């Protein structure tokens, strides 16, 4: 075995000593533990520890706990040579093993292959030598290379004296094992909660605080904020930390992982006992929100934390001693409980407390009122949830071998709710009922306007609010079949559109020059769905003469600080992470897999811009809302397209900031523009068009399959033949409207270029060359190279993808039915002499 090769701590980042004095009980306990370490080193000749690359036997305490069931999985998965020993309470090792397996199965972390590599020892971490026989303990001292000490009493409502035996004194047994025979690496699971500023959400007197690398908590602050008789947990963890640091000073290799608050995994698996879960569940149970309550975003997934601990512990080059294991940027955008479809009245804390206490022991906060009363002034501050925390994560970033992936808050929330629904019989708290109501959305809209100092009527014109009401009314209708489980998603989506409108209005107020900008000769690719519009749009977007909006820009149109010159479009643009979170939470990437590839950095169709108006045909694709369709048919989309052009003034301003001195020609793509060409040309009088064409019988099956898939997760399924008939009417109407426009405006025909789908897929670069030639654009060598590179990447991705399969017969359609429905379109192409070349 090689000797340990840990590098020394980073210069300037050694752990400083505590300043001040611990409370008497804590000080006495720490003195006892330090004395034990001195005695142990005096009595024994201890060999050097092995390097983490040579770990073969490790010991885990708390393997049946919330963190333990994930850390056990990570250790066994990362290194197939490891045997993991576990101290588990029970009469026999067999009983202990069954507890370990059952808990890992519950968390979905169990693998049958683990069984032969887990050795359970029946014992108690608080008993001398874990309650093991002398021979068993000596055997562990010989065999074990590292100890992961996770076990602790997690109660936040216990005094220090009530919790010290398990949390403070158990470290004596761990240190005895680590110091006996030869040094073992000691990895200790502590808590960020030793810092009052973290526990108090950096509010009130802690608003300007910061937690840096290797930092020790301020004892004076702890004494003011953490009464020993009320909140003993952080004191017990601090005493254990100091004992471990003392052992480290005399040569024991250690790592202290101060873990963030956690009550869930990225899979949604959750524990109901966490105080954050209890407070939220009490809101649901009481049906009211205490003034100042927000959804806390600093609730990091336990599996991410476990992965960090495991990765660092096995890194022989780790250099830090104390690790702040938390995400310092938990959320780009704050999320309010009201945005998730939970429409509860806001009341005073006193009224909320009375309502909860009237529920007696049934309240999720029963037994926790002393704690909540003490911290309510910090936790209920009337602020949005934090989008960033003043905490340095340098140590975990530098010592973790790889990139740390933090699931976004929306993704966590969606998975958490799904897990609760699927395990309702195990969940002890009430499940929230979400609603989609016009008045509720209007209240959110007013809040968005008020928060930004905007006039409500100017931010949300009457036509927009009327469109929102029409859409909500249609979704509330039984014929829409909206699933109860998706109401929260839809409510959040609508709130997001309302908020984005407010953000745009606020940006226009800050930068009035936006109003004077022109969008000149925009190009609209307007072929019907499944005719190569996405293919052509993404291909042409590789030429930087065009400006095409990326997916993340649609999700979040405004950078709050307006740093478009320095931040926009870079890897650090925070809108990218938000878009990835939105896409993951919505499930849209999986829904479109094999049909329409979505990339947060890739060019996308301008559907989200029209969605901001609440007056757009794509809502009738996503949902079955015939009532809304009839209203939209009667009212038209003129206002929506003028809103589209106003939004594009913002994007033009943003691009001009990030591309100083450059001018680009906007390139758009969306099939449903064909339905509203009169409105489009009214908003963009100099627009240019490219229309792709394909035999209707060849795109209808693909389109029906796509609609069926994207509706499946939001509404009750409709019979396939009914859906087929619905989409045949809608798609043929779309092309009929396009034919009407082109026949009514012969003076605009020079602006149209017709492209065959078949030519495009067979020789895309030749089609692009013809388009450029028709428009008099220069096709530069660098643009050709960028396009060909993208085509190569696309071919490679498609080679690996499971391709989309469909059949018109699945939807009750025949070739004759489809040809008849599209007769007008086919005749238009025949009369113009283009049918043979295009279809």
Which pLDDT score is estimated for 590?
73
Residue 351 tokens, joined: 């009224």
- The pLDDT score that the predictor gives to residue 43 is 79
Q: Tell me the average pLDDT across 350-359.
A: 97
**pLDDT value of residue 514:** 97
Q: Which residues of 749-759 are buried (b: 16+ CB within 10 A; e: fewer)?
A: eebebebbbbb
Question: Which pLDDT belongs to residue 447?
Answer: 94
- Span 70-74, average pLDDT: 98
Give yes or no for residue 10 having a pLDDT over 60: no
Separation CA 615–CA 638 (nearest Å):
9
Pick the range with the lowest mean pLDDT from 102-106, 179-183, 641-645. 179-183
Predicted confidence at residue 387, as pLDDT, reads 72
pTM: 0.90
The CA-atom distances, in angstroms, between 447 and each of 236, 384, 460, 499 are 43, 12, 12, 9
Helices 24-43/160-167 angle, 10° precision: 20
Query: Alpha-carbon distance 762 to 468, whole Å?
Result: 43
What CA–CA distance (Å, rounded) separates 284 from 296?
15
Residue 222 has pLDDT above 70, yes or no: yes
In this structure, what DSSP letter does residue 211 have? B
- Strand order in 665-669's β-sheet? 546-547, 665-669, 523-525, 688-693, 752-756
- The number of angstroms, rounded, from the C-alpha of 746 to the middle of its chain's C-alpha atoms is 49
* pLDDT grade for 386, boundaries at 50, 70 and 90: low
**Across the chain, what does the average pLDDT equal?**
92
Q: What's the CATH fold of domain 438-838? A: Rossmann fold (3.40.50)
**For residue 128, how many other CB atoms are within 10 A of its CB?**
12
The yes-or-no verdict on residue 491 having pLDDT over 80 is yes
Contact partners, residue 250, CB within 8 Å, separation at least 6 = 37, 41
Q: Could you give the C-alpha distances from 437 to 50, 468, 473, in angstroms and in order?
A: 63, 10, 9
E strand segments, 537-654: 546-547
Instruction: At 344, list the tokens.
Output: 């509860």
The predicted pLDDT at position 141 comes to: 95
* 237, 190 Cβ separation under 8 angstroms: yes
Q: What is the pLDDT of residues 280-331, one digit of tens each?
A: 999 999 999 999 888 766 789 999 999 999 999 999 999 999 999 999 988 7
Give the residue among 595, 621, 598 at the shortest CA–CA distance from 805.
Answer: 595
Question: Quick one: pLDDT at residue 6?
Answer: 45
* Helix (H) or strand (E) segment spanning residue 30: helix 24-43
**Domain 24-261+296-334+387-402, CATH homologous superfamily name and number:** NAD(P)-binding Rossmann-like Domain (3.40.50.720)
pLDDT at site 659: 85
Please check the confidence at residue 595 and state whether its pLDDT lies above 90. no
DSSP H stretches of helix in 550-595: 551-555, 574-586, 588-591
Nearby residues of 597 by Cβ (< 8 Å), 6 or more positions away? 797, 801
Q: Report d(CA 40, CA 246) in Å as an integer.
A: 13
What are residue 290's phi and psi, to 5 degrees?
Answer: -65, 135
Pair 242, 235: CB distance under 8 Å: no
Contacts for 651 with CB less than 8 Å, ≥ 6 apart: 547, 549, 553, 557, 666
Q: Give the span between the Cα atoms of 30 and 239, in whole angstroms.
A: 6
The Cα–Cα gap between 280 and 274 comes to: 10
pLDDT exceeds 50 at position 12:
no
Q: So where are the chain's domains? A: 24-261+296-334+387-402, 271-294+337-383+409-433, 438-838
Look up tokens 């009088």; give the residue: 685
Average pLDDT score over residue span 257-261: 96
Kindly tell me the burial class for residue 799, based on how many C-beta atoms sit within 10 Å of its own C-beta (0-12, 13-18, 19 or more): exposed
Cα–Cα dist 332/41, whole Å: 50
Q: Give the C-alpha distances (Å, rounded to integers) separating 679 from 23, 31, 312.
A: 74, 80, 58
Query: What pLDDT score was predicted for residue 3?
Result: 46
How does residue 106 score in pLDDT terms, banded at 50, 70 and 90? very high
How far apart are alpha carbons 57 and 614 in whole angstroms?
61
CB 262 within 8 A of CB 302: yes
**The pLDDT value given to residue 660:** 81
Neighbours of 120 (CB within 10 A): 23
Q: What is the pLDDT of residue 13?
A: 60
Residues sharing a CB contact under 8 Å with residue 750, sequence separation 6 or more, in sequence order: none
β-pairing, 57-61 with 83-88?
parallel
Provide the residue count of the chain: 839
Contact yes or no for 757/694 (Cβ under 8 A): yes
What local confidence, expressed as pLDDT, does residue 197 receive?
A: 96
Per-residue pLDDT band at 804 (split at 50, 70, 90): low
Residue 1 scores a pLDDT above 70:
no
**Which residues pair with residue 290 across a beta bridge?**
347
pLDDT for residue 382: 64
- Pick from 530, 523, 519, 522: nearest CA to 753: 523
Q: In whole angstroms, what is the distance from residue 689 CA to residue 337 CA? A: 43
C-alpha–C-alpha distance, residues 153 and 156, integer Å: 9
Distance CA 411, CA 824 (A): 46
Q: Count CB neighbours of 737 within 10 A.
A: 15
**DSSP letter string, 93-117:** HHHHHHHHHHHHHHTT---GGGGGG
Q: How far is CA 642 from CA 80, 544, 637, 670, in A?
A: 61, 26, 9, 16
CA-CA distance, 174 to 123, in Å (whole number)?
13
Picking from 261, 326, 259, the residue whose alpha carbon sits closest to that of residue 295 is: 261
Q: What is the pLDDT of residues 509-564, one digit of tens each?
A: 999 999 999 999 999 999 999 899 999 999 999 999 999 999 999 999 999 888 99
| Percent above pLDDT 70 for the chain | 97
Q: Report CA dihedral (699, 641, 602, 490) to the nearest 10 degrees.
A: -80
Lowest mean pLDDT segment, chosen from 482-496, 577-591, 741-755: 577-591
Task: Give the gyration radius of the chain's Cα atoms.
Answer: 31
More confident residue, 5 or 122: 122
Helix (H), strand (E) at residue 121: strand 118-122
Report pLDDT for 21. 93
Contacts 24+ apart (CB under 8 A), 390-394: 390/202, 390/209, 390/210, 390/211, 390/328, 391/192, 391/198, 391/210, 391/211, 391/324, 391/326, 391/328, 392/210, 392/211, 392/212, 392/213, 392/324, 392/328, 393/324, 393/326, 393/327, 393/328, 394/213
Smallest CA-to-CA distance from 234 within 321, 155, 148, 151 is with: 155
**Is pLDDT of 641 > 50?**
yes
Residue 664's CB is within 10 A of a number of other CB atoms, namely 15
* Token pair recorded at residue 266: 């990225």
Nearest-5° Cα angle at 574, 573 to 577 = 115
């Amino acid at each position: 075995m090689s000797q340990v090769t840990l590098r020394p701590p980073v210069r300037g980042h050694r752990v400083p000593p505590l300043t001040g004095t611990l409370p008497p009980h804590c000080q006495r306990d720490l003195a006892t533990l330090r004395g034990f370490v001195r005695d142990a080193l005096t009595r024994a000749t201890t060999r050097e520890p092995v390097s983490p690359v040579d770990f073969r036997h490790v010991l885990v305490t708390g393997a049946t706990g919330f963190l333990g069931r994930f850390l056990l999985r990570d250790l066994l998965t990362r290194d197939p040579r490891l045997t993991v020993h576990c101290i588990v309470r029970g009469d026999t090792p067999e009983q202990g093993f069954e507890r370990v397996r059952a808990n890992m199965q519950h968390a979905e972390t169990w693998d049958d292959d683990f069984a032969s590599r887990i050795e359970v020892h029946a014992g108690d971490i608080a008993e001398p030598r874990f309650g093991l026989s002398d021979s068993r303990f000596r055997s562990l001292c010989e065999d074990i290379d590292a100890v992961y000490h996770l076990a602790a009493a997690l109660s936040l409502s216990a005094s220090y004296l009530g919790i010290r035996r398990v949390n403070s004194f158990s470290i004596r047994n761990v240190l005895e094992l680590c110091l006996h025979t030869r040094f073992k690496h000691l990895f200790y699971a502590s808590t960020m909660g030793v810092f009052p500023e973290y526990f108090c959400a950096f509010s009130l007197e802690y608003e300007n605080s910061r937690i840096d690398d290797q930092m020790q908590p301020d004892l004076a602050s702890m004494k003011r904020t953490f009464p020993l008789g009320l909140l003993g947990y952080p004191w017990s963890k601090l005493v254990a930390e100091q004992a471990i640091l003392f052992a480290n000073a005399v040569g024991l290799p250690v790592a202290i992982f101060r873990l963030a608050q956690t009550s869930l995994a990225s899979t949604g698996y959750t524990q109901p006992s966490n105080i954050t879960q209890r407070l939220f569940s009490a809101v649901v149970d009481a049906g009211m929100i205490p003034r100042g309550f927000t959804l806390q975003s600093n609730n990091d997934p336990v599996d991410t934390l476990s992965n960090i601990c495991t990765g660092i512990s096995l890194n022989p080059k780790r250099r830090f001693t104390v690790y702040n294991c938390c995400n310092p940027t938990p959320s780009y955008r704050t999320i309010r409980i009201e945005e998730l479809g939970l429409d509860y009245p806001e009341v005073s804390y006193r009224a909320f407390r009375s309502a909860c206490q009237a529920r007696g022991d049934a309240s999720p906060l029963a037994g926790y009122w002393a704690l909540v009363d003490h911290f309510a002034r910090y936790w209920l501050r009337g602020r949005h949830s934090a989008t960033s925390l003043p905490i340095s994560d340098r140590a975990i970033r530098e010592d973790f071998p790889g990139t740390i992936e933090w699931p976004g808050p929306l993704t966590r929330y969606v998975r958490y709710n799904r897990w609760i629904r699927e395990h309702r019989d195990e969940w002890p708290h009430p499940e929230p009922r979400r609603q989609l109501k016009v008045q509720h959305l209007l209240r959110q809209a007013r809040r968005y306007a008020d928060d930004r100092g905007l006039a409500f009527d100017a931010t949300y014109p009457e036509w927009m609010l009327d469109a929102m009401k029409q859409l909500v009314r249609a979704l509330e209708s039984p014929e829409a079949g909206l699933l109860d489980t998706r109401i929260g998603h839809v409510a959040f989506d609508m709130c997001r559109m309302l908020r984005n409108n407010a953000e745009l209005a606020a940006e226009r107020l800050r930068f009035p020059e936006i109003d004077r900008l022109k969008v000149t000769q925009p190009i609209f690719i307007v072929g019907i769905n499944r005719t190569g519009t996405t293919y052509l749009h993404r291909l042409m977007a590789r030429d930087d003469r065009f400006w095409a909006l990326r997916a993340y820009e649609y999700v979040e149109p405004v950078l709050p600080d307006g740093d478009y010159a320095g931040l926009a479009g870079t890897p650090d643009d925070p809108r990218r992470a938000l878009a990835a979170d939105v896409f993951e939470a919505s499930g849209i990437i999986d829904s479109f897999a094999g049909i329409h590839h979505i990339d947060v950095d890739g060019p996308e169709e301008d559907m989200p811009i029209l969605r901001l108006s609440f007056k757009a045909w794509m809502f009738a694709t996503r949902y079955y809302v015939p009532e809304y369709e009839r209203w939209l048919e009667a009212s038209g989309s003129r206002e929506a397209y003028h809103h589209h052009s106003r939004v594009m003034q913002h994007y033009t301003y943003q691009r001009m900031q990030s591309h100083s001195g450059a001018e680009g020609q906007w390139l758009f793509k969306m099939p449903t523009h064909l339905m509203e060409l009169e409105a489009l040309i009214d908003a963009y009088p100099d627009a240019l068009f490219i229309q792709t064409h394909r035999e209707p019988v060849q795109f209808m099956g693909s389109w029906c399959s796509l609609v069926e898939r994207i509706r499946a997760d939001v509404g009750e399924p409709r019979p396939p033949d009914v859906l087929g008939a619905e989409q045949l009417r809608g798609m043929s109407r779309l092309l009929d409207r396009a034919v009407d426009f082109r026949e009514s405006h012969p003076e605009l025909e020079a602006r149209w270029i017709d492209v065959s789908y078949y030519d495009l897929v067979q020789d895309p670069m030749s089609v692009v060359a013809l388009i450029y030639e028709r428009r008099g654009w220069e096709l530069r060598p660098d643009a050709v190279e960028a396009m060909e590179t993208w085509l190569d990447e696309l071919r490679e991705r498609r080679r690996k993808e499971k391709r989309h399969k469909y059949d018109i017969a699945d939807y009750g359609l025949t070739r004759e039915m489809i040809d008849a429905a599209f007769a007008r379109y086919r005749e238009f192409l025949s009369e113009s002499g283009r049918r043979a070349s295009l279809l």
